[in-house]
Structure 1
Amino acid sequence: MNLLRDLPSRARRPIVVAGLAAVLALVAWAVVAADDDERAAAPQPSTAPRPAASDPRAPAVVNDYRAYWAALLKASDPADPNHADLLRHVTGAELGRARTVLTARRQSGEVVRGSYEHRETVQSIGDRVATVDDCLSARTAVYEASSGKVKVQDPQQDQPLTVALQLDGGVWKVSEIKPGVPGACTRPAA
């Protein structure tokens, strides 16, 4: 996902966004480092991820992951940062990001319509966390809500993503979306 493209055109502030991105990256690194330190201090073998291919929970992880993207589209037309479907499928850092983008879209009179195609692979599943790698292809556009006029057509190309999910109340909720490995979505020649 391109955070700058997610924001309405009049809300783009490259210097502020770059600074915010640097601060968020630093905070995320600190949280991950602290979490790693805690895990190292107190081993928890029951939370060790299992190989995803043999885990019977993998289909539920994929279904809930895809439900997040469907909910995001529903919450994007009209833009509603508190859409009930979205809140059922997102948590943590991704909830904050989604709400920020949807609030900005609503204030700018923009909606997003379209669909997403996935080529996801569940990489790991623990007791309460899972990781999915996806080659997401957005078939979406940003529209002016009042006129229905296309403002921005997203490029139709696969974007590699690495997605963290947390099990919450029986639902695997998307908690963080990060860029995946560059080149990971190259399709074999036909």
Structure 2
Amino acid sequence: MYDQILDVSEKLFMTQGYKETSTRQITEQLNISQPALYYHFKNKEEIYYNVMLRLSEQVERHLREISVREDLDLESKIGRMALFLQRKHPVNLMLMLRDIRQMLSEETAYKIFLLWKKSYKQPFIEVLEQDPFVSREDAELDWIVGQLFVVISTYLETSDKEDELLRSIHLFLYGLLDTRA
């Protein structure tokens, strides 16, 4: 039942947001009672955190599988990682960020931020660190990957724009100017 609660909750949270999702909706979709739900989770915030924990673990595993592939160059790795996020996250990212900042306790918001940093951001940083042509300091790579996520997030809700996402990543990595001239 634990995983079923998380499955239904994830779908609701990712489409409606935290505020608009009620524990009553979750229980109705599962055809269980509120006490049955609270047997597994103490409140809605704990459900949300566990949804995000499970999601981040899945995302990290997949991103790391792509990041260690030796047959892919930098652009291919970043592109495949971004496409994975686009396929895995058909969500309104702005809604999710608003939920985390405004609807959750400071403690839970911070725990989710740490999950995101470890599971989503760190694999991208490591790909850049391992590329011999990338020469930036760790703090700068953290900022750079943050900017890359701004680009990627533009395409998370539009799975029909994979080509545009890949073109945007190419532009992000190589820019407009041809420095060979």
- The TM tier, using the shorter chain, reads under 0.3
Q: Which structure is larger by alpha-carbon Rg, 1 or 2?
A: 2
- TM-score, structure 1 normalization: 0.24
Q: Which has the higher helix share?
A: 2
Higher relative contact order (CA 8 A, sep 6+): 2
Q: Which has the higher strand share?
A: 1
